[in-house]
Structure 1
């Protein structure tokens, strides 16, 4: 009897593994970003346009749920409402999105970590490297919706919100100051999935 149960368990496990392998798709994504800085120490900041692009793996957990890790190059930043003035931050983001699926339509949410690779402040035609003034890692979250199948084109809209402050703390006398400034970005994108 035990041998039969072990055999059934082994067959069930192999069937699940085979199904899981066939329910993984890889894909590309790219689109526009509309980003800003938010927080107590921001002053009349305006949104600026940028772009993002990268790769993802969509892993079906059940018919209803999927896990989608991604690696995305993403432009973020803001315009502090001064003529010819922009702050532009460049990140490699790693979103860990959990999808709820309904025949291609999906809703998503999850955590995200971003790694700062460059930062510039542009005034008129002059660009200055300001990376040293920002934290190297940015923790945040994502939420969105869209339409994506295991094979072919898809579309989505996502919001990225920052949890951690992006400027580095600094010390003045005996006082350490940490400005409350976080990333905020909307992303509209197209995907192409290579089905599993």
Structure 2
């Protein structure tokens, strides 16, 4: 928890410093393919937000950003989807190399994330004695380990953190294409050791 808060504070400091420099601001949005260990089912969501390319040298930049990022997973044996929404703050170091009409880039760094929404969607009987399947949706409590009526708890913790990696290509006109992967190392669940995984594909633009 303390480590995640330190990462968020560091990200905020970098964003402030960058905004006061000549570094470029960018926006990105795209598709997330999210899953979580130990489950093997994935869901499709989206991400969108802003970042700042803060140049440390001609080839190396720091790119702190703030995004809304959809995470979650599917429990295949129960046909149940857990949809999670986070304010996601990555702080990757990025190396850029000129090639053709633009630059290839790749990088890695830490991320911290704060959960802002969580819900469950399921297709099947609502109760074990029900024989009529149907869709139902319910909210999941964030940041509280309150037990459910049956004595179990499926609530999630507020913080997530881990390592992010990215690679892509940016054109000289500002358009960029990115593939990213977020490897969560925090246990985000009160009732099980659940760690987030997100593969992202996005399109963005540098405002130079």
**Which TM bucket (shorter chain)?**
0.7 to 0.9
Task: Spell out the pairing of 1:108-119 with structure 2 (5 A cutoff).
Answer: 108-119=107-118
Deviations 1:54-74 (A, max 9, x none): 001111111110000100101
Structure showing greater radius of gyration is 1
Query: Structure 1 residue 139 and structure 2 residue 169: aligned?
Result: no
Q: Deviations over 1:33-55 (max 9, x none)?
A: 001011xxx34x31111100000
Moved over 6 A (4+): none
Residue pair 1:69, 1:97 contacting (<8 A) in 2 also: yes
For the pair 1:191 / 2:204, whether they are aligned, the reply is yes
The secondary structure found in structure 1 opposite 2:76 is coil
Q: Are 2:136 and 1:123 equivalent residues in the alignment?
A: no
Paired residue secondary structure (2:41) = coil
In the comparison of the two structures, how many residue pairs are matched?
162
TM-score of the superposition, structure 1-length normalised? 0.78
Among residues 145, 149, 153, which one is paired with 2:175 in the alignment?
A: 153
Q: Find out whether 1:168 has 2:190 as its counterpart.
A: yes
C-alpha distance in structure 2 between counterparts of 1:163 and 1:60, whole Å: 28
Gaps of 5+ in 2: 1-19, 124-134, 143-154
Q: What root-mean-square deviation, in Å, do the aligned CA atoms of Structure 1 and Structure 2 show?
A: 1.7
Find the counterpart in structure 2 of residue 107 from structure 1: 106
Unmatched 5+ stretches in structure 1: 1-19, 170-178
Instruction: Note the C-alpha offset of 1:153.
Output: 0.6
Decide whether the 8 Å contact of 1:76 with 1:88 is kept in 2. Answer: yes
2:83 to 69, 73, 88: 88
Structure 2: distance between partners of 1:123 and 1:78: 12
Whole-Å Cα distance in 2 between the matches of residues 131 and 113 of structure 1? 20
Distance 1:67 1:130 in 2: 35
